[in-house]
Structure 1
């Protein structure tokens, strides 16, 4: 991605529409949408498209022209990124607007960023509210306490990634586990047999987990379904493709460095690892 020292308009803006409808759309995003010749969007609600049409005279909904039942989702992402790049070559600047954050589980963004330099196109990505941001609220969870590990559910299985049972875990796209094909069909219990067995390598059957779906509508609360790992497949009808699985830690990891924990509140130790900002810095070598 090109860094812009000047104020020249990039050819492509990549923005996120947040999770909870137009309430999460930032003023910065609205500003670049107004300056765009076209917005190519993947919204979650019709109200999102309506809002975008208030900002730009030309808005294209990418969802119906990209996704096909039982086809690889990568085909949909290829279509999206190709349409954005073609529009930018023809009538820049354009905006690619997706729900959530544009760099959190949005593969077309990566495709656009990788291809743009070869086409002589400049791209600027703007921050937005992601599902990770909303899930910390939905779960009353602060990752600063015990850290956080998170993986895409199918990637966890195919790479056999090890899990730390004392660190909170998020498994994204658990409702779409074991397939890269787009489908509107409901999940069956069998979809969750393999991932349940894998999780039981690290957690006991009675460990309670939560499947969370942050509401995209301002009038509705988030959906949080709690169950034990032993009962995971019994909730197959509730585990749709938008859910993320939260696995709380089994226990707190004990302190291993007693010497350091004794020093973290010590003024003397603080002074030993800092220096007076007024003091001269080290001489540069010639």
Structure 2
């Protein structure tokens, strides 16, 4: 099927001002129209300098809309501009495919309609977290959940693996209109963690710096104090691993190995 006139490229600004990639910048500059969902005023002004045909999608928040209604309005606006035959660049904060519903949905629908649509990678809050906290996810593994999905689902909690709970500041918020934890949600999260971690296990609330020079939030505290810790909608809760996993001795035996043979894989 021949692609129709009109095309979409989705890019991200990264978390901080200097994270915009050269590839993303080039796409912004060449677009017929740039549709931007950027809460940072400094970056929003910069996008206008790169391409005067930049329009904000942020006005689609509010007016009594739930978040899903806002995302649908954004998706449809993107699709309308592509169907008008334009080369559209949509710009979202951070990585454009991480916690961003409209980008994935617009790409899916446009491809189904025969239009070209693609996404370029960007720097996400997770990338910043690994750098700021000095965490290598390959050390003992890392699992990552949206906090409300974790709360509502029966998921195993593995104390041998580092865990990230994204958007802990709106965990359990079911109206999809508020920007605070739902009633009793944080206490339930605490009780879930206490099944596998002791009360003095140290957790961290992390918030990446969005502007160079502003501080990154890195607040360590014991699990017992979780209910007293202030959060924002974009806060991330880091739960470090408590212990190392046991070796699977039966598998090692099948491979002709012992635990001593694996010493070379351990850090000095």
- Counterpart of 1:20 (choices 16, 22, 32) is 16
Q: Any idea what SS the aligned residue of 2:191 has?
A: helix
Q: Which moved more, 1:239-248 or 1:186-195?
A: 186-195
Q: Any idea what SS the aligned residue of 2:48 has?
A: helix
Q: Give distance in 1, aligned partners of 2:197 and 2:263.
A: 35
Q: Give distance in 2, aligned partners of 1:160 and 1:149.
A: 15
C-alpha distance after superposition, 1:201-226 (max 9, x if no partner): 22222211001000101011210122
Q: Give distance in 2, aligned partners of 1:265 and 1:197.
A: 36
Q: Give distance in 2, aligned partners of 1:215 and 1:32.
A: 25
Are 2:101 and 1:107 aligned? yes
Q: Any idea what SS the aligned residue of 1:179 has?
A: coil
Which residue number in structure 2 is paired with residue 50 of structure 1? 45
Conserved 8 A contact 1:208-1:229: yes
Which residue number in structure 1 is paired with residue 140 of structure 2? 146
Which residue number in structure 2 is paired with residue 203 of structure 1? 197
Q: Give distance in 2, aligned partners of 1:89 and 1:110.
A: 17
Q: Any idea what SS the aligned residue of 2:138 has?
A: helix
Q: Give distance in 2, aligned partners of 1:37 and 1:166.
A: 50
| TM-score, length-scaled by structure 2 | 0.88
Conserved 8 A contact 1:70-1:183: no
Which residue number in structure 2 is paired with residue 63 of structure 1? 58
Q: Give distance in 2, aligned partners of 1:191 and 1:159.
A: 13
Conserved 8 A contact 1:215-1:221: yes
Q: Give distance in 2, aligned partners of 1:188 and 1:14.
A: 32
**Structure-2 change in CA distance of 1:265 and 1:252 (3 Å):** closer
Q: Could you say which structure has the larger radius of gyration?
A: 1
Which residue number in structure 2 is paired with residue 82 of structure 1? 76
Are 2:248 and 1:252 aligned? no
Q: Give distance in 2, aligned partners of 1:133 and 1:143.
A: 11
- Structure 2 spans left out of the alignment, 5+ residues: none
Which residue number in structure 1 is paired with residue 170 of structure 2? 176
Q: Give distance in 2, aligned partners of 1:132 and 1:9.
A: 36
- Counterpart of 1:193 (choices 173, 187, 193) is 187
Are 2:229 and 1:227 aligned? no
Q: Give distance in 2, aligned partners of 1:39 and 1:90.
A: 14
Conserved 8 A contact 2:8-2:107: no
TM-fit CA distance, 1:255? 2.8
Q: Give distance in 2, aligned partners of 1:223 and 1:83.
A: 34
